[in-house]
Amino acid sequence: MPTPWSDEELKASVEAYVEMLDKQRRGERVIKARYYRTLEKRFGRAAKAFEYRAQNISHVYALQGRTWIAGLKPAGNVGVNIVARLEALIAEVEGHQPSASATFATEVNEQRGLYRDNASTSPTGRLVPDKKAVNTTVYEREPAVVAWVLTKADGVCECCDSPAPFTREDGSLFLEVHHLKRLADGGPDIVENAIALCPNCHRELHAGVGKHELAARLIDKIERLDAY
């Protein structure tokens, strides 16, 4: 039986991950093996295990629709218990309010596994769902940036070049403005980092397999865009 991971070990793993991700964002060289070796010395667990844990952390970032560390491919074979602990620790270490989006997605996936075998009994659900107040950090966005990017796109998705999928009630064409480097990841709110997208391309850039490669292709394709 492998030893279960203590809170201390998981927290140290998340701290190392967040530090590596920060370095990657700043364009600094990240020597990942050094982090795993330090953790191995501290906790007496193999460096390889910490590397694998880091891939689980990428998995949580991926479920949240965020950018993960290059070279640490998301590894999703972790249960809801570990995902919930990692998600809470990421919020704590990054200093923002916890979200439970990765935990919820994991619960949905686990339940899907159950329904795959037997979907004849549907869930009762809740007639009156519980509610809770949450505190979130939002980034103030510049309306002028959104306005300029939408005007420039003129109703055509800058990713797939398809026309906006529908017209809003006010008559405007529906496209969404996305920041290639998220504001939450330290990206600037400027037109060189913003792109007008149809909802499909937008979700794909947050959640699609190969989303980092797709973002890189867009930076090549659209002259206005810069890598940040």
Q: Which residues bind Zn ion (CB under 5 A)?
A: 157, 159-160, 178, 198, 201
Shortest distance, position 80 Cβ to Zn ion, whole Å? 26
Among 177, 166, 172, smallest CA distance to 224 is for 177
* Listed residue (226, 144, 149, 147) closest to 193, CA to CA: 226
**Quick check: 190 and 177 in contact, CB under 8 A?**
no
Instruction: Report CA 13 to chain centroid distance, whole Å.
Output: 18
What is the tally of helices (H) and strands (E) in the chain?
A: 8, 2
CB 173 within 8 A of CB 184: no
CB of 166 to Zn ion, least distance (A): 13
Q: What does the DSSP assignment read for 25-63? A: HTT----HHHHHHHHHHHH-S-HHHHHHHHHHHHHHHHH
Q: Which is nearer to Zn ion, 144 or 160 (CB)?
A: 160
Cβ of residue 204: shortest distance to Zn ion, in angstroms? 8
Counting Cα atoms < 13 Å in the Cβ hemisphere of 168 gives: 8
60 vs 198 by CB, closer to Zn ion: 198
Q: Which is nearer to Zn ion, 46 or 147 (CB)?
A: 147
Amino acid identity, residue 170? D
Rounded CA-CA distance 150/177 in Å is 7
Contact in structure between 80 and 108 (CB atoms under 8 Å): no
Instruction: Report in angstroms how near the CB of residue 176 gets to Zn ion at its nearest.
Output: 7
State which residue, 12 or 198, has the beta carbon closest to Zn ion: 198
Phi, psi of 107 (to 5 degrees): -60, -45
Nearer to Zn ion by C-beta: 45 or 66?
Answer: 66
In angstroms, give the least distance from the CB of 152 to Zn ion: 15
Least distance from C-beta 47 to Zn ion, angstroms? 35
In the bound complex, what is the minimum distance in angstroms from residue 207's beta carbon to Zn ion?
10
CB nearer Zn ion, residue 96 or residue 112: 96
Nearer of residues 14 and 205 to Zn ion, judged by Cβ: 205
107 with 80: CB under 8 angstroms? yes
Task: Write out the two tokens for 84.
Answer: 């919930």
